Amino acid sequence: MAESGNPTANTPPSPTADGGDLAAEVVILGGGLAGLSMAAALATAGVPVVCIDQDSPDRQADDGFDIRTTAIAYASMKVLEGAGVWKHMVDKAGPMLDIRIADQFSPLFVHYDHTELAVDGQHRPFGWILDNKDMRRALFARVAELPGLIHLAPAKATAITRNRSGASVKLADGRVVRAKLVIGADGRKSLAREGAGIKVRRWSYDQSAIICTIHHSEPNKGIAVEHFMPNGPFAVLPMTENRCSIIWSEKRSLVQTYLDLPDDQFIEELSRRSGGYLGEITLATRREAWPLSVLLAERFIAERLALIGEAAHAIHPIAGQGLNLGLRDVAALAEVIVDAHRLGLDVGGPEVLARFQRWRRFDTVLLAAVCDGLVHLFSNNIPPIRLARDLGMGLVNRLPPVKRFFMKHAMGIVGDLPRMIRGQPL
């Protein structure tokens, strides 16, 4: 259904006749990394947005709130750049210039060198690694610059009403936010998804990810290393300030044993698994473990609702694509919303949402299946399978066209790319 008139760029969300209530084109549930990136992208393009965030910015930016790190692929950097966020975080992001992937400690491995691939006529990093807290701080800084964006934090959504004419979100304090479209960016236990009755497929792995950040005495030179071990992949990812992020997938029955090791024994195990190329290692953060599982929503849309990020999908971290999938959602959904907004059309209409789902769901399901297949292929120590894996990796390394294709995949620059990933403004 078309709206009358053409919305004015950068028109802020406005109070309604109910006093404390708000009205906007779009309301986003969830102020995490995907949700705030979505809000920044839309508001940068002039779409009035309200983002509902359960946690306060001060708490989320605290050093102890979240020790996790995020891998930002080159394509995701372009999305963040287009949303005006990247400038606030680039100094904190450690570039990945080389990626080395090995089956355990086999001499046959895949080596991606950023100088072997030109993108827009230049050699670009495959991606960057940074602390989640630094990405949050960058997002909060960008939010503060955008007059067309209201960030309600802390605030909790308690009910969502959707119909042909619009949608509304009721907050715990009694206020109501009215909009044409609700975007669910509220994680695996999504109120938006569950309220719409969208079913999910879930399965768990007999693995948890042990995570921490380390300091090291030797420079990491932008090298990312991943060893496929029988109990799960072990990754060392380069950060700034002589730091690396450790993502160590391990059998669940063994995880607590490693978490309980004294620091010196834990560091010794890290040094053994990483190969010692980082020199002397010390822990820069505490250790945590996160159970690994997959979640796939059966659909990403419902009446006046679109799902992004972990409300729609969560996959194994074997390829480091978790948030990158969410940022591809952001780029695609932002494009279809902005196109409708500029034409004076209904941004929550069925045609707009169907276009988003066609664009994103196949890519997501395919990547989830590939990651799941890799987990099962490499999480074993069966000699014939191990030999085939090693020979396959050695072959890929000797075929430059095949290797360049996989390098582009790692950067997120293959397929039908939204404007933001192509470096074009919304």
CA distance linking residue 320 with residue 69, whole number of Å: 11
Mean of pLDDT values over 316-343: 94
- The residues, ordered by sequence, that sit 6+ positions from 93 with a Cβ below 8 Å of its Cβ are 72, 128, 129, 130, 134, 240
Mean pLDDT of the chain: 91
Q: Is the pLDDT assigned to residue 136 strictly greater than 50?
A: yes
pLDDT of res. 3? 32
Strand bridging mode 127-131 / 176-179: unpaired
CA distance linking residue 124 with residue 76, whole number of Å: 13
- Measuring CA to CA, which residue among 152, 44, 120, 102 is closest to residue 386? 102
The CATH code of domain 22-202+293-422 reads 3.50.50.60
Quick check: pTM over 0.75?
Answer: yes
- Measuring CA to CA, which residue among 22, 296, 302 is closest to residue 151? 22
Extents of the domains making up the chain: 22-202+293-422
Cβ burial of 342 (10 Å; 0-12, 13-18, 19+) is middle
CA distance linking residue 276 with residue 285, whole number of Å: 20
Q: Is the pLDDT assigned to residue 17 strictly greater than 70?
A: no
What is the tens place of the pLDDT at every residue in 68-122?
Answer: 999 999 999 999 999 999 999 999 999 999 999 988 887 777 899 999 999 988 9
Mean of pLDDT values over 338-348: 97
What is the tens place of the pLDDT at every residue in 364-388?
Answer: 998 898 888 888 888 777 888 888 8
φ/ψ bin of 250: left (φ > 0), alpha (ψ from -120 to 50), beta (otherwise): beta
- Measuring CA to CA, which residue among 90, 80, 5 is closest to residue 44? 80
Neighbouring-strand partners of residue 70? 130
Query: Per mean pLDDT, which range of 24-38, 52-66, 176-190 is the poorest?
Result: 52-66
CA angle 274, 277, 280 (to 5 degrees): 90
CB 101 within 8 A of CB 52: no
